[in-house]
Amino acid sequence: MPASSTFSSVQRVAALLSSRCQSTFSLSAASAPSRLHSASSVSIPRQVTGYNDPRFSQRPFSTTPRQQTKTIKPHRLPSDLIPPYPYGERRVYKQSNRGLYGSARIRFGNNVAEKHNNKSRRFWRPNVHVKAFFSPSLCARVKTRLTLRVLKTIRREGGIENYLLKSKPARIQELGPGGWNLRWLLMQTQAVQQQLNEERIGLGLEPKEIENRDDIIHFALDYATPGPLSTRSRATLDEMQAAVADTFVLGDDRLGHMEGVEELSDEEEQKLLDELQALDEAAKDAKGHPVET
C-alpha cells in the first residue's frame, strides 16, 4: 500500500475522533448550568444555617427513651423476703441450688476395658447450659443455668412462666431453691393473680382480691441486679423492716423497761420447759397409776 493512502486514512480517523470529542464537550458544557442549579437546591448543613431553620424543626429520630429491662438471676433474689423452700436445699451437688437442674445430679460409674475387663472409676456431669428467658409478667429477663431436659420441658410447657407456675408436687420438687424463689416472685404480679383467680372460678371457688405488690417486685428485682439499691427500693425496704418490727410487739411493751425484769435467755427457757414437762409427767403418773406407799 502507498504511503500517501496510509497517511490519508490516519487523517480521517483523527478528524473523526476530534469531532466526537468536541460534541461531548459541548453537551457537558450545556448541562453544567442545570447541575449548578440542582446543587444550589441541596440542603445546607445545620452548622451553616443555624438551629432556628424551619427545615430542621423535625428530628428524624425519636427522643422517647427505650424501655429498660433487667436481667436477673433467681438465686440472687432476697431469701429473707421469700418463704423457705419446702424441700430444703440440696445437700448433694449443691450447684443445682443456683439454677434449674431438675433431678439431674453427678453420676458415678466405671470404665470397663474390653480386653482384660479392668475397671476404673469415672463420673458423668449433667449437660448444663446458660439461657436467658423473657418474663412478660415481670418485664425482665431471667438468666439461669439449666439442663437440656429442663429446657425441653420449658419449650413443651410454652414458656418459663408456665413451667414455674405448675403446682404438681413433682414440679415443685424439681424446681429447687432458685426456681422456688422465681415462682414466688411471679405469683406476686397482678397478671398471675388474675390467672389464679380464673382457675379458682373454673373450680367453683371464690376469687381472691388482687393486690398491688409492685413495690415488692421492684425491690426484689433491684436486689437481684448488681449495684446499689434505688431510692424506691430503699423506701420499700424501710417499710418492710418497720412492719416486721411492729408485728412482734404484743400488747404493752413497757414491761421490758422496768427495773429488775430481764429478758429470758435460751438456757433458762430450756430449764423452765424441762421442769414443766416433769410436772406434767408426774401429774399423769399420779392420775393413772397411784403411787404405792
Instruction: Note the CATH architecture for domain 71-243.
Output: Roll (2.30)
pLDDT value for 255:
46
Q: Which one is predicted more confidently, 267 or 37?
A: 267
Residues 223 and 234: their CA atoms lie apart, in Å, by: 10
Percent helix, strand and coil across the chain, each to the nearest 5? 55, 10, 35
Selected residue with higher pLDDT from 283 and 194 = 194
Closest CA to 102 of 162, 143, 43, 163: 163
Of 194, 126, 128, which Cα lies nearest the Cα of 165? Answer: 194
Tens of pLDDT along 220-265? 888 888 788 888 888 888 887 777 665 544 455 454 444 455 666 7
Per-residue pLDDT reduced to its tens digit, 61-100: 556 655 556 788 887 888 888 889 999 988 888 888 989 9
- Angle (nearest 5°) at CA 80 between 76 and 85: 80
Q: What is the pLDDT, as a whole number, of residue 39?
A: 43
Calculate ∠ Cα 122-128-131, nearest 5°: 170
Residue of 65, 35, 73, 265 lying closest to 181 (CA atoms):
73
Domain ranges of the chain: 71-243
- Model confidence at 169, in pLDDT bands (50, 70, 90)? very high
* Residue pair 193/187 in contact by the 8 Å Cβ criterion: yes
